[in-house]
Structure formats: structure tokens, C-alpha cells
A and B are shown apart, each in its own frame.
Chain A
Amino acid sequence: MDHQPHFKRHLVPADTQPDALLGDSAVTALYVIGAVVSLVAAWAIATFNTLVRARNRVDESWSGVDVQLKRRHDLVPNLVAAVEGYARHESGTLEAATQARAQARAAGAGGPASRGAVESALSGVLSQVRAVAERYPELAASNNFRQLQLQLAEVEDEIQGARNIFNSNVEFLNTKIQSFPNSLVAGLASFRERDFFEVDLPAERRPREVSFA
């Protein structure tokens, strides 16, 4: 203990210093345990932050889906009005479209699973409206209807894009939560797996042309 700095000798008597009390191997073991604990803590913090980031991305991308779905809801009344002017006796289909839109709007606060079902129903009705329009050449040729069709196709492309982003974010989060040893941190911090958003879109049945303009 001759090599101890002067100030240390004042603070701790030589016979009570750690080396003297525990022995060299015990001190080494303490250092190793300390290093391991620090590493584990650093890993847990990093994993926790990754999970938080992944969860925030899921929430953020769900808002993106929501915005695009609302854009579609806003187009439906115009589309119905445009068709109504030419095809008054197709009121059954048009009423169904209005109802499906109302249900979709009402489900606005719901989660991906419940919204997927009502949005798919709306897609189905909108396909019927398109089919109706094809039976009326004047309607199909009208500028207003064609413009609405284009807008609807564009919005459906964006819904598809937003859904892809959301689902890949959910997949990323769920994989992180399920995989070991991340699952330990996820369990302790109460991270929950999320549902995927499944929705039928007419855009997916159209011949694919790269267009996000």
C-alpha cells in the first residue's frame, strides 16, 4: 500500500481498503459484475428507446392512414352527387354508398381491425358506383365525374402507400416485442403488439402503373 496517493491514505486506513478487506480476486469480480450490469443497463435503455421509437412510428403512420381515409370520405358525397345527376334510378347503390361512408366516418376513432372492415365495405360500394357509372356513357364521359375518378384513384393509391408504411411499422414493432431478449424489456415496460390494417382497395385490382403523382 506504499503506492497509495497521500490523500487516499488520509481517507481510508490501510487495513480497511477494499483490497485488504476483500482480496484481489473479489475486487476483480466486483469490477466484472459492475461492467456486466452497466452493459445490461445500456442495452436495456437502448432497447427501450428503440421500442419507443417504433411505437411512435406506428402511431404517426396510423395518423397518415387516417388522413388519407378522411380524404376518401370527403370525396364520396361529390361522387354520389355526380352519379345522381345522370342515374337517378340507381338510388339503392347511391344510398348504400352514403351509408357506407357514414359508417366509415363513425368508425373514425376505432382501431385498425375495426376500421379495416368498414373501409373495405366502403371500397366495395364505391366499386359498385363505378360499375353503375360505366352503364351511363354520358356520365362516364363527363368532366366532373372523370376528375372525381382521378382524385379517388389518387387517394386510394395514397391509402395503399400509407397502409404499407403502417403495416411495415407494425411488423417492425411486433418483431422487436416478440424477439428475445427484447421481449424482456417490452414485457417490463408494457409494450403491446399492434394489429395490422387490412383493407380492400380497388387501386390494388387496377393494372399497376407506377404513379404517386
Chain B
Amino acid sequence: MQESVQIVTIVLIGTLLFLILVAFVIVSLFFYQRSQYKHHEEVTGLKNAYEQELLKANLEIKEETLSTVAQELHDNIGQILSLVKLNLHSVTAQSEGGANPKLRNATDLLSKAIADLRDLSKTLNADYLMEQDLQESIRHAVDQVQKTGTIHATFEISGNEKPLTPQKRLIAFRIFQEAINNAIRHAKASRIDAALKYGSQAIAMTLKDNGKGFHVSGPQAKSAGTGIKNMKHRANLIGSEFKINSAPGSGTLIQLHIPL
């Protein structure tokens, strides 16, 4: 009897000790993994914040450069062209028997060049864009495309207009510019439909083209990667959601949801 009690005691204590040991190892592992997980989360967070800062700085430098170029175009080249136009006008006025048609043609072309230069200067100038409404900037860009005569461009607005911060306006417009450039240059689109939808929580900006399209996850996407990456990074900077849908032969749809 005593031997049986001894056996039971040995078996129970032995089993219990083994089980406690296993439980201890598992609990330690659990806490260790949790601390590692938190550490990894912190490192990832810091890395992301650093990348965001770097990107922000990069974009600021880019915007500054564009603003300088815009100012130079407007103040320097624009002034010179205006002077040339003035001189041409005076030559036309002095000429007897009516202005030479070639001279008149040159004056018209010059007027167009000055107007285009002003437009270009405006779209490059961050300060100017930040002062403008997003819909105005987009409408202007769409009109410019429509003016080329080779692309049919439309722009639709729905909902009640909501104000956006200047930073969001600028970045959203830069994304739009990149998208419209891609549609013209790479997709060879003949139709572009832009839309701006004001919701209660967010603004949805979409740009649809009937161009070549591409595999969003294929090797083509890699080659078109820089532009798309830039748009995504820019969208991240203003906490927006960026989506791109495309397939060969089906055009491309770009969507940006900007939270208010």
C-alpha cells in the first residue's frame, strides 16, 4: 500500500514538474515574442516616419525648384517675350500700307507663346496652386488638354464643395498632373474623363482614360513604377488612399480618396 502511494506521488510530482517546466517555457516564449513584436513595430514605425520625412523633404525641394523655374519663366522669359511683342506691335504700327501678314502671324504666335508660358508658370508654381481651388486647377489642366484638339477631355464635379488644406490641394493636384501626363504620354489616350466628388467625409478624385492600359502587377507596372510610386507616396503624405485599376486594352482608372 505504502509502495503504491509512493509510486503515485512520484508519478504525479514528476508529471507536474514536467508540465510546469513546459508551461514556463511557453509563457516565456510568449512574452519574449511579444516584446520582439513590439520592438519590431517600433522600428518599422520609426523607419516609416523617417521615409515619410525624407519624401516630404524631397517633395519640398522639388516644389521649390518648380517654383523657381516658374518665377524665372514668368519674370525673365515672359518679360522678354512681352518686350518682343511690344516691339513687333510698334513695327506693325509703323509699317505703311497695312501690316505684313508674316509679321502679324509672328505677333499672334508670340501672344500664344506668352499665354502658354503664363499657364505653364502657374501650374509649376506651388504658391499659386495652393491659393487656387482644387477644382479650378483641375478644370484649367483639363481645358489645356482639351485645347490640344487631339484628346477629348471632360471634367465633372458632384456634391457640395468642401475646403481642403493648401498642402492637400497641392499634392492632390500634383497627383492629377502625373496621372494626366501618364495618360497622354504613355497610355496614348484619346479620351480622358476626370471627376471630383465631394462627400461628407472625403473627396474622391478620379481620372479615367481609354489608353493602352497595363498589368498593374506585371513587369510593365515596374517600368511605369516611378510615376505610380510617386503618386502613392504623395497620397500617403496627405493620408489619402490611392488606387489604380488597369488592364491591357482597357484603359486606366486612377482613384484618390482624400479625407477631409
Please determine whether chains A and B interact with each other in the same assembly.
Answer: no
Residues of B that sit less than 8 Å from A by CB: none
